[in-house]
């Protein structure tokens, strides 16, 4: 991306339509101190194609040598779109638990029936795994009980007699040799379990305990765990179910960009060592791999662009050095990076005068950064910051003169003003734009592993996605897609990948996998039941 384009992103971070006159208001000039801070986040934007190439190289190496990345799964194919059935689906992520009943209708699509979502209480993340899964089992019981109350008596009795088939999406590393079992590996996203656990056994034990407490008035069915898979794989399967590969498009990979990040692709078996290759079935072709691209093996391409704030965030984290990529792009961390940068920007302000949330680790929620970037002008950004950091004074006029500025102090205390609000928005945009560029580069690197860009030059390559950062963060998806196309076009010019036929433009597009974790869990369960994996 050209330097001028980079400056445009940083200085015009509004997501409003250009016809909105408020959106075109000039913002506060950038002072030298702030300009120096912003420049550190602009560095990777100048060579996204080079970073993508570095990711491709490291991914090939990790596929061959890493025991905790590019993990093989028992899946060798994408869904046909003809899978049918009713399945209970569970999606356990870094922030939320979702449980639903999903009906697959084959060529007629699908329906997500009873669905509920819960935030995972923080104390479950540092306790014993058994305690977390007892809570998960209780939530399954809530959804199943609600569904049984909604269906007719005949279906209710059939479910209670036959049980329900369960597909699970689990957003953490795991080792798998069969569809219905998974050995948990070290977890991130704030989870600190240290023992090795079998996911299927944990959930079965917890749900069986729940069954032992049910009464005839409120019965629950037995559960049959049919399939377990990773969130990125569920994303690809769900989108592939609804958007089959055609003569013009091809579903090639799945990525997650939410609280954390991950990716999957069909990887040629020839690029994997013997220890990762299938123990049954053909020894050729491809298998779906869980890249776990967020953890330490992916660090080398990031090192030239790692800032002092990245280092500080990592050192203060639960597992320093474990997830360097996720800490630069994950929704859990973007707000914390912005907070750390702001502390340096406001370094001339006595710390005692700064808002309390600004002084607390993870006191700045990424959702605030998202809202501020979406604001149409500095005054609206100011109002959002006042509401978040100092709600007692948020009624003050946004045009009033603050008691101090970003470079001074006042005995009455520091308050947000239009210049500091403008600085916050620019910093937030710089952090999120770097994240979009790195996700784009990493994604193209994955497509380099499965050779999707070297083949199918005539097709639009679909990268299926889910996660709140890509889904909800203003223009994040558009920025990411733009960086991806920049890499593809550069690689065509350099001869790394073939051009599209008849002078057409090579195309890579992000395709949303709505409810990917839930739908993908049900789709894989359907594939397993029909023997199509």
406-421 pLDDT, tens digit each: 444 344 578 999 999 9
Q: Which pLDDT score is estimated for 407?
A: 42
121-176 pLDDT, tens digit each: 888 777 778 888 999 999 999 999 999 999 999 999 999 999 999 999 988 778 88
The helix/strand/coil state of 226 is: strand
Radius of gyration of the chain (CA): 24
What DSSP assignment string belongs to 490-511?
Answer: HHHHHTSSPPPGGGPPP-EEEE
In whole angstroms, give the CA distance from residue 443 to residue 253. 8
Q: Which pLDDT score is estimated for 70?
A: 94
Q: Which pLDDT score is estimated for 93?
A: 83
52-68 pLDDT, tens digit each: 999 999 999 999 999 98
Asked whether residue 186 carries a pLDDT value surpassing 70, the answer given is: no
- Range with top average pLDDT, 12-21, 241-250, 375-384, 431-440: 431-440
Q: Is the dihedral of CA 482, 234, 90, 202 positive or negative?
A: negative
pLDDT band for 497, please (50, 70, 90 cuts). Answer: very high
Long-range contacts, stretch 192-195, CB < 8 angstroms, 24+ apart: 192/125, 192/126, 192/318, 192/319, 193/128, 193/129, 195/129
Q: Which pLDDT score is estimated for 9?
A: 52
Asked whether residue 4 carries a pLDDT value surpassing 70, the answer given is: no
Judged by average pLDDT, the poorest of 8-22, 375-389, 410-424, 462-476 is: 8-22
310-337 pLDDT, tens digit each: 999 999 998 899 999 999 999 999 999 9
Asked whether residue 1 carries a pLDDT value surpassing 80, the answer given is: no
In whole angstroms, give the CA distance from residue 13 to residue 429. 6
pLDDT band for 405, please (50, 70, 90 cuts). Answer: very low
How many degrees, rounded to 5, is the angle at CA 494 between CA 488 and CA 498? 60
User: Which element (helix H / strand E) includes 356?
Assistant: helix 356-359
The helix/strand/coil state of 389 is: helix
Task: Go through the domains of the chain in sequence order and give each one's CATH number.
Answer: 84-235+518-529 (3.30.420.40)
pLDDT band for 281, please (50, 70, 90 cuts). Answer: low
The pair phi, psi for residue 114, each rounded to 5°, is -50, 120
Q: Choose among 272, 264, 309: nearest CA to 291.
A: 264
Asked whether residue 267 carries a pLDDT value surpassing 80, the answer given is: yes
Q: Which residue has the higher pLDDT, 359 or 502?
A: 359
Task: Kindly give the pairing relationship between strand 261-268 and strand 84-92.
Answer: unpaired
pLDDT band for 98, please (50, 70, 90 cuts). Answer: very high
The pair phi, psi for residue 87, each rounded to 5°, is -135, 145
Whether 286 and 269 have beta carbons less than 8 Å apart is answered as yes
Asked whether residue 402 carries a pLDDT value surpassing 50, the answer given is: no
Asked whether residue 14 carries a pLDDT value surpassing 50, the answer given is: no
Model confidence, pTM: 0.84
Q: Average pLDDT in the 180-205 region? A: 74
pLDDT band for 519, please (50, 70, 90 cuts). Answer: very high
pLDDT band for 181, please (50, 70, 90 cuts). Answer: confident
Q: Which pLDDT score is estimated for 244?
A: 72
Alpha-carbon 353 to chain mean position: 35
Q: Choose among 211, 230, 229, 228: nearest CA to 220.
A: 211
Task: Kindly give the pairing relationship between strand 84-92 and strand 164-170.
Answer: parallel
Q: Which pLDDT score is estimated for 230?
A: 87
441-473 burial: b if 16+ Cβ within 10 Å, else e: bbbbbbbbbbbbbeebeebbbbbbbbbbbbbeb
In whole angstroms, give the CA distance from residue 364 to residue 384. 12
Judged by average pLDDT, the poorest of 3-12, 187-196, 276-285, 360-369 is: 3-12
What DSSP assignment string belongs to 6-43?
Answer: HHHHHH----S-TT-GGGGSPPPPPPHHHHHHHHHHHG
Q: What is the mean pLDDT of the chain?
A: 87
Asked whether residue 21 carries a pLDDT value surpassing 50, the answer given is: no
Asked whether residue 455 carries a pLDDT value surpassing 60, the answer given is: yes
342-381 burial: b if 16+ Cβ within 10 Å, else e: bbebbeebeeebbbeebeeeeebbbebbbbbbbbbbbbbb
């Amino acid at each position: 991306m050209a330097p001028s384009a980079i400056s445009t992103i940083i200085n015009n971070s509004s997501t409003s339509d250009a016809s909105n006159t408020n959106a075109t208001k000039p913002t506060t000039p950038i002072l030298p101190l702030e300009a120096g801070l912003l420049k550190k986040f602009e560095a990777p934007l100048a060579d996204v194609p080079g970073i993508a190439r570095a990711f491709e190289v490291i991914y090939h190496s990790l596929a061959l040598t890493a025991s905790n990345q590019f993990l093989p799964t028992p899946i060798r194919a994408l869904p046909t779109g003809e899978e049918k059935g009713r399945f209970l689906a569970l999606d356990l992520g870094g922030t939320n638990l979702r449980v639903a009943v999903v009906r697959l209708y084959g060529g007629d699509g699908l329906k997500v029936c009873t669905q509920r979502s819960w935030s995972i209480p923080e104390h479950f993340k540092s306790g014993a795994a058994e305690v977390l899964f007892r809570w998960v089992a209780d939530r399954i019981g809530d959804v199943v009980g609600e569904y049984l109350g909604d269906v007719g008596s005949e279906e209710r009795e059939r479910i209670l007699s036959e049980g329900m088939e369960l597909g699970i999406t689990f957003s953490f590393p795991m080792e798998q040799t069969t569809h219905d079992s998974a050995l948990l590996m070290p977890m991130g996203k704030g989870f600190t379990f240290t023992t090795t656990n079998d996911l299927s056994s944990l959930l079965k034990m917890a749900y069986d305990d729940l069954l032992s407490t049910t009464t005839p008035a409120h019965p629950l069915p037995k559960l049959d765990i049919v399939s377990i898979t990773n969130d990125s794989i569920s994303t690809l399967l769900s989108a592939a179910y609804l958007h089959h590969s055609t003569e013009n498009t091809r579903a090639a990979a799945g990525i997650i960009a939410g609280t954390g990040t991950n990716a999957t692709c069909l990887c040629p078996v020839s690029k994997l060592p013997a220890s990762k290759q299938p123990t049954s079935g053909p020894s050729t072709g491809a298998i779906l791999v869980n890249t776990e691209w967020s953890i330490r093996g992916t660090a080398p391409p990031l090192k030239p662009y790692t800032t002092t704030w990245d280092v500080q965030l990592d050192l203060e984290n639960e597992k320093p050095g474990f997830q360097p990529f996720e800490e630069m792009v994950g929704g859990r961390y973007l707000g914390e990076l912005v907070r750390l940068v702001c502390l340096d920007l406001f370094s001339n302000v006595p710390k005692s005068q700064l808002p309390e949330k600004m002084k607390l680790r993870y006191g700045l929620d990424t959702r605030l950064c998202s809202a501020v970037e979406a604001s149409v002008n500095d005054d609206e950004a100011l109002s959002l910051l006042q509401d978040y950091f100092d709600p007692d004074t948020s009624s003050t006029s946004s045009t009033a003169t603050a008691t101090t500025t970003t470079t001074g102090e006042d005995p009455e205390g520091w308050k947000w003003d239009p210049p500091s609000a403008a600085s916050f928005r620019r910093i937030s945009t710089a952090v999120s734009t770097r994240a979009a560029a790195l996700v784009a580069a990493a994604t193209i690197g994955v497509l380099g592993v499965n050779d999707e860009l070297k083949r199918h030059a005539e097709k639009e390559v679909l990268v299926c996605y889910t996660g709140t950062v890509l889904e909800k963060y203003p223009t994040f998806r558009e920025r990411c897609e733009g960086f991806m196309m920049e890499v593809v076009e550069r690689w065509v010019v350099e001869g790394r990948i073939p051009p599209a036929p008849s002078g057409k433009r090579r195309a890579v597009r992000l395709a949303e996998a709505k409810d990917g974790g839930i739908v993908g869990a049900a789709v894989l369960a359907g594939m397993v039941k029909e023997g199509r994996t």
